[in-house]
Amino acid sequence: MSAVMRDMEIAEAPEGAARAAGDREALRRAVEQACSGIMPAWPLDQAVAVNPHWRRIDQPIRRVAARLAVLGDFRVFPARDYIRREWEAGRIAREDLNTALDRRAAQDACEVTAEQCIAGLAAAPALRREPLLVDLLDDAVQKNRRWPWRAAIVFQMSQACATYFDRHQADWRASGSPGLYGFWRESMVGDHGLGARLGLPGFAKRLSALPLRAEDALRWALAELSLDASVWRDYFEALLLSINGWAAWCAYIGWQKIPAGQEDLRLSDLLACRIAWETLLARAVPPGARGAAVSALDAHWRDFPRRVAQAETALAVDECWQRALEISFQRGFARTLRAPATASASAARAPEVQAVFCIDTRSERMRRALEAVWPGVQTRAFAGFFGIPIHYTPLGTDVRRPQLPGLAYPSVAVQDVVTAPGGTAVDAAGLAQARSARRVRLAGLDQWLGAVRWSNATFSFVEVLGAGYLGKIARWIRPPAAPRASADRLGLPGSIQDRCRPMVAGLDLAKRVELAAGVLRTMGLDDRLAPLVILCGHAGHSTNNAHASTLDCGACYGRPGEANARALALLLNDPEVREGLRSRGLRIPDGTVFMGALHNTTTDEVTGFDLDLLPPPARARWHRMEQAFARAGDRVRRERAPALRMDANLAPKPLLASFRRRANDGSQTRPEWGLTRNAAFIIGPRDRSRGRVLSRAYLHDYDARLDPDGAVLEKLMMGPMLVTNWLSWQYHASTCDPVHYGAGNKVLHNVVDGHVGVFEGNGGDLRIGLPRQSLHDGEGWHHQPVRLTVVIDAPARWIDDIIARNAVLARLCDNGWMLLWRYEGDALQRYERGRWLPLEI
């Protein structure tokens, strides 16, 4: 934000230059600090799960909770009525609460007792949001007779932002200033009915006083509000939080410009719009009301630190209940981890097939089922982007789609290539033909999608273009039991589809070898390879779902993992790459073949790719794996059915058909549960998890014996462990504060710009986070908002050294944003501010 404030030109007398420079620097710093607390929200088609508190993890969790409560009535801990139901149902036991209090007392002086905690469940904590100027100006009687001013501000700014950021949805776009503030100002000046809606005749005339530039608007507003410089940062942050959805979107745009070292001014522009609204209202009320409100505002915000301290004390009860809720989960989790490992025929002999899945919690069921139905398969887990940080360009398009964790930026290009039969060379003629055919077909599809965007246009479109489109409507209304169709293959001629392959592009041989070597070593597969290695990405399957990408791979930027899995398999099968790996001491056996596959997590079907490239022995193993996947999928569907209120006793084919129809149903608000109830992450060998039911855990294979210097462990703690922290907190925040961090009711959603986000209804702020149906089963919260418990099987010294080298890990662990355990032999220890203590639950 510094570029905005650096360019500020404050008119002052020469003798006031020093003071003006100090004011200028204080204002620049306050804007920068307020904006720095806002975490980005990714667009719908790239729904990276986000820890919305990520930019505040340098503070203890209770302090953040207190500060957010006073700034904007945000909630970080679970609601007390939720905790009360868990307590009364016996899911949180007295021993869980006592253990939570004992741990708190051992860490700091504990302010509360068990009796106070129990009594506290009768009411919400006594917290009060500090008022904005609009709250002090709006008359308590009058706002019941016309539009409340706070709601009016949010509506107007939100509609202006939706118009400004729309590039894809509207059939026409309003012209105007290229800057957000300028565009908003023009929308205000052009709205002649605003004064009537606010109950302020003559309000439109006051709009001419709005400064032309955002930086001038900030100074103009501060002069009107007479706030002391010591409260600027807090007040600015409160203003941004009052329109948090659009603030998060502006922060996302800024996040995308970080790799290029560029600044984006739209978040600070949004702040200028919001504070200008305060000033306009102050100028519109009688002088006496304005003076009283301005004086009260300054007094309230000078009192902000004391109010936060009071809130922090009040939230001690909530923090204890958060711990008790987690201990209620951890008790059973620890018991499962301590149970003796079951004997495994597959672990005792060399596997015929290795299937590498994403660490996703939904993969755990499939891994467990596969190992049960065929001892010849060894399952492993690795982050679903498979270690290649790609941007992917599907055939016939100009997109560069990131497919990697949201914390990272892509550095490897993957693009679709059409190969000649047998896959030995690029088919240039076929490539050109496929591109041309696809563009024509996608143009027709775009007409169809444009027609069904508005329901009242659909049938008139059919009348004009023919009854062929009625089939599309019928399939949408009466869903068939058809398998998932890949959007990345949509519009491709059938003769081309099997030969269209995503491949790494633009890297010379040395870099391809380096990429392959790094992936194999991090996977732990550098010298332990089966004859067939299946790299199995995953994707969701839903219809008419604005939040469909939340069901896809979180490690692939909310996209299906197909492109990553196939591109890596083709890279590792490349004879030149294999020869280069040998020179590095990594020898892939001549008989080992890699292939890509995709796990449909909604129906638990697995599809293999590039089968025409498999030699006969590998093809025979794949045929056997297809049968194993089918049997395993049936097991998983029966395990999942009760939570979806489906009949688990159906025969295999009808059961699969019912899952497919659910996925193809345009009215289905809950095609699957996604990562709901995720609670733990295990980094260790499969022996620690094999044969145990760990459906709430992410699993990442890791063997410390094969990592002599701990380098691989550091990559896992700084990569997948941080990604799972984001995933965990996205679900936690959307459950604990669905008003600010949840997307609301899917049934009421209106999509903004086709991908930016959703409104709930046609007004209010941009809704971010997860929809209610992804977390709530209609009767209560299906997700349990516990912090992530990470379990690592590695020496304590390694973990300590990695935390010491990486400040972000120390902040997460020491400030309560993550819970860390490790194995000590067969016992478990927990991390507590630099110490390893026995896990006594």
What's the average model confidence in pLDDT over 752-766?
Answer: 93
Tens of pLDDT, residue by residue over 115-173, are 999 999 999 998 999 999 999 999 876 767 788 999 999 999 999 999 999 976 655 56
CA distances from 235 to 232, 239, 293 (A): 5, 6, 15
281 HSE (CA, 13 A, CB side): 24
| Number of other residues whose CB lies within 10 A of the CB of residue 299 | 9
Q: What pLDDT was estimated at residue 455?
A: 39
Specify whether the CB–CB gap between 377 and 354 falls below 8 A: yes
Q: Confidence class of residue 600 from pLDDT cuts 50, 70 and 90?
A: very high
Q: What pLDDT was estimated at residue 470?
A: 57
Is the model's pLDDT at 461 over the cut of 50?
no
What's the average model confidence in pLDDT over 279-298?
Answer: 95
Farthest-apart Cα atoms in the chain, separation: 88
Helices (H), 524-612: 562-573, 575-583
Q: Which own/partner contact pairs does 435-442 have at CB distance under 8 Å and 24+ positions apart?
A: 435/395, 435/396, 436/396, 437/491, 437/492, 437/493, 437/496, 438/395, 438/396, 438/491, 438/492, 438/493, 439/396, 441/490, 441/491, 441/492, 442/396, 442/490, 442/491
Q: What span, in angstroms and rounded, lies between the C-alpha atoms of 173 and 64? A: 40
Percent of the chain with pLDDT over 70: 91
Q: Where are the beta strands (DSSP E) in 685-755?
A: 697-701, 742-744, 749-752
Q: What does the mean pLDDT of the chain come to?
A: 91
- Name residue, tokens 């009052």: 242
Is the model's pLDDT at 576 over the cut of 80?
yes
315 HSE (CA, 13 A, CB side): 28
Q: What is the pTM of this model?
A: 0.93
CA distances from 331 to 96, 99, 457, 609, 768 (A): 9, 11, 56, 42, 33
Q: Confidence class of residue 458 from pLDDT cuts 50, 70 and 90?
A: very low
Q: What span, in angstroms and rounded, lies between the C-alpha atoms of 448 and 451? A: 5
Percent of the chain with pLDDT over 90: 79
What's the average model confidence in pLDDT over 289-301?
Answer: 96
Is the model's pLDDT at 284 over the cut of 80?
yes
What's the average model confidence in pLDDT over 100-107?
Answer: 89
Q: What span, in angstroms and rounded, lies between the C-alpha atoms of 411 and 392? A: 11
Q: What span, in angstroms and rounded, lies between the C-alpha atoms of 48 and 376? A: 35
Tens of pLDDT, residue by residue over 327-378, are 999 999 999 999 987 765 555 578 999 999 999 999 999 999 999 999 999 9
Q: Which residue has the higher pLDDT, 492 or 642?
A: 642
Is the model's pLDDT at 693 over the cut of 90?
yes
What's the average model confidence in pLDDT over 761-765?
Answer: 91
Range in 311-325, 437-451, 492-506, 628-642 the model is least confident about: 437-451
Q: What pLDDT was estimated at residue 528?
A: 82
What's the average model confidence in pLDDT over 474-503?
Answer: 86
Coil, strand or helix at 598 = strand
Q: What pLDDT was estimated at residue 492?
A: 82
Is the model's pLDDT at 675 over the cut of 80?
yes
CA distances from 465 to 253, 455, 471, 480 (A): 39, 16, 13, 24
In DSSP terms, 828 is beta-bridged to 823
Q: What span, in angstroms and rounded, lies between the C-alpha atoms of 572 and 593? A: 8
Q: Confidence class of residue 314 from pLDDT cuts 50, 70 and 90?
A: very high
Nearest Cα to 758, choosing from 264, 249, 257, 399?
249
What's the average model confidence in pLDDT over 731-754?
Answer: 96
Q: What pLDDT was estimated at residue 694?
A: 98
Cα three-residue angle 704-708-709, rounded to 5 degrees:
110
Is the model's pLDDT at 299 over the cut of 50?
yes
- In order, the DSSP letters of 750-806 are EEETTTTEEEETTEEEEE-SEEGGGTB-SSSBSS-----EEEE-S-HHHHHHHHHH-
Q: What span, in angstroms and rounded, lies between the C-alpha atoms of 152 and 639? A: 48
What's the average model confidence in pLDDT over 514-543?
Answer: 93
Q: What pLDDT was estimated at residue 722?
A: 97
Tens of pLDDT, residue by residue over 694-728, are 999 999 999 999 999 999 999 999 999 999 999 99
633 HSE (CA, 13 A, CB side): 23
Tens of pLDDT, residue by residue over 202-252, are 899 899 999 999 999 999 999 999 999 999 999 999 999 999 999 999 999
Q: Confidence class of residue 13 from pLDDT cuts 50, 70 and 90?
A: very low
